[in-house]
Chains A and B, each alone.
Chain A
Amino acid sequence: MSIGVSLDEEFVSYYQARAEHLRTTAYLLCGDWHLAQDLTQLTFTKLYRGWRRIERHDALDQYARRVLLRAYLDERRRPWRREVPTDTIDPTRPARPDGQPDDRIVLRSALMRLPPRQRAALVLRYWVDLSIEQTAAVLGCTSGTVKSQTADGLANLRRLLGGVANDFGHISGGGSA
């Protein structure tokens, strides 16, 4: 921590720089802006509590992502969070006048239907743009697991997308770092 710069100033500075990105990551994981906000707040609260003990502030992003992921996965496990969103979207529901499902709705629904760790692997690899090794560090698993979770996630995404999948021919396995 820099001499003369208070803990709170550092914290505020980090929040202003990274909160939006972290919240967007949380949203892509959970599909709900309000829950994403909760997770982001929880993450920053934990960061604040541990701020004095975090010696390598250059590694804050990685630490924050790990806290966020842990919070997201824990939230899903907790009994009072085992809730089913009322706005679950049926991907087969016609949403356009021509009777075709709205691609946007189909895409959103497909991502949300992936198992949490597959979704997390995809978000970290292709949204946050982490390497396989970095993703493994955040998820707390091996690189091999990341590769298989990514490949499985992409395969499931293609399967869930059905007709829209024609447009997803370029999505391939997650084996490359």
Chain B
Amino acid sequence: MTGNEPDIDRVWAAMLDDPAPPLPTASETLSAARGAARRRTVFALAAAGAAGAVVVATVGVGLAFGNLQSTSPSVIPAASPPSVAPTPSRPPVPPPPAPSQDAADRHGQQNAALLMGAVPAGLTGLVQEASPGSPAWTWQLGDTAEYVSTVYVVLTTGQADGELSAMIRGGTSDLGTDPCSPRVTRLATPATTGCEVVDVDGVAIGVVVSQNSRGQVITGIRMLAGGLLVVESKQGIDQHTPDGSRPPDAKKTGTSKRDHDILGNWPGLPAPPLTVQQVAALAANPGLLP
């Protein structure tokens, strides 16, 4: 506290006159943090073996976009090996530059619109705004130049929830050009195996099919010069507990209890909302970048 404003100390003293409840122990907090991290952790289906590894092969962009708007929730195809299309002979598209943090944040509106446009018929999409009118959740990583800027759209049937997201990560150097390199997959998804590169109109997209606590997660990774673009299609939203993570459909009732009277907390959709092909096509969509 500064000595320049001595009397404001009385405000702090008045506030702190209210006794604090015991602070959770470090192990309790660590356990909760681990649990939250675990819920975000996805395991490569390839590693699951018996569950059936999903091998992502080369796909064509036309096939992907053909399915994009027409999938109904009752017939959403599960992530499965896509039809193998001949590798296009188009010249590879060089990675576009990662935008600045501000540009990525401002571009959130357009990415929200693109994700909403990809919502399969029969599902309701809800953009999760970071603040009113601003759908991008943008974080600077420490005091570095690195940032992540993510737009989330929750997809719901009213009884089950899934999620689409598009994340731009920038200010990151030395990532190379391989979207399936261990360094890249470590940044984009905890699943470090099972990544396959597919070609979408000359754009190399790394695709990983993995699993969270509520089902499959399909991740599409596009390299940028100085960053990444990551699109995710989640069958279900990670399970939430009163550790600070709450589902977007949570509604707080009452004012004195703090035990999160969550409504919703629904199970996952029958399958990921977008297929492997659709995720790859969306990740290659230049409209996701400013």
Contacts and interface: CB of A to CB of B under 8 A. Distances in A.
Interface of A: 8, 11-12, 15-16, 19-20, 23-24, 27-28, 31-35, 37-39, 41-42, 44-45, 47-50, 53-56, 59-60, 62-63, 66, 70, 73-74, 77, 79-81, 83-87, 103-105, 107-108, 110-111, 122, 125-127, 129, 154, 157, 167-172, 176
B89 interface: no
Contact of B32 (A45, A54, A107): A45
Contact of B143 (A62, A168, A176): A62
B243 A41 contact: yes
Given A80-B251, A170-B7, 9 more contacts: A37-B21, A41-B24, A63-B143, A77-B129, A86-B256, A107-B11, A122-B8, A126-B9, A127-B1
B26 A129 contact: no
Interface stretch (B12-20, B59-67, B229-237): B12-20
B21 A80 contact: no
A19 B23 contact: yes
B33 interface: yes
Interface string B97-141: 000000000000000000000000000000001111000000111
A19 B4 contact: no
Interface stretch (B34-42, B43-51, B196-204): B34-42
A74 B132 CA distance: 10
Contact of A11 (B8, B33, B252): B33
B144 A19 contact: no
6 contacts: A15-B29, A37-B24, A59-B142, A84-B255, A103-B14, A111-B11
Given A12-B27, A33-B18, A127-B12, A45 B244 contact: yes
A12 B26 contact: yes
B6 interface: yes
B30 interface: yes
Contacts of A19: 23, 26, 29
A86 to B, nearest CB: 5
A170 B252 contact: no
B244 A42 contact: yes
Contacts of A70: 139
Nearest to A86: B255
Interface of B: 1-2, 4-12, 14-18, 20-21, 23-24, 26-27, 29-30, 32-34, 36-37, 40, 129-132, 139-144, 146, 187, 243-246, 250-252, 255-256, 258
Contacts of B140: 66
A77 B26 contact: no
B103 to A, nearest CB: 16
A19 B33 CA distance: 14
A91 B266 CA distance: 43
B230 to A, nearest CB: 15
A126 B30 CA distance: 30
Contact of A49 (B1, B37, B243): B37
Contacts of A83: 252, 255
A34 B2 CA distance: 27
Given A62-B143, A86-B255, A122-B8, A129 B32 contact: no
A104 B10 CA distance: 8
Nearest to A60: B142
Contacts of A62: 143
Q: Which of B15, B17, B21, B129 has the most CB of A within 10 A?
A: B15
| Nearest 4 CB-CB pairings of A with B | A42-B244, A48-B33, A107-B14, A34-B258
A153 B144 CA distance: 31
B30 A48 contact: yes
A108 B15 contact: yes
A110 B9 CA distance: 14
Nearest to B14: A107
A33 B10 contact: no
Contacts of A53: 141-142, 146, 187
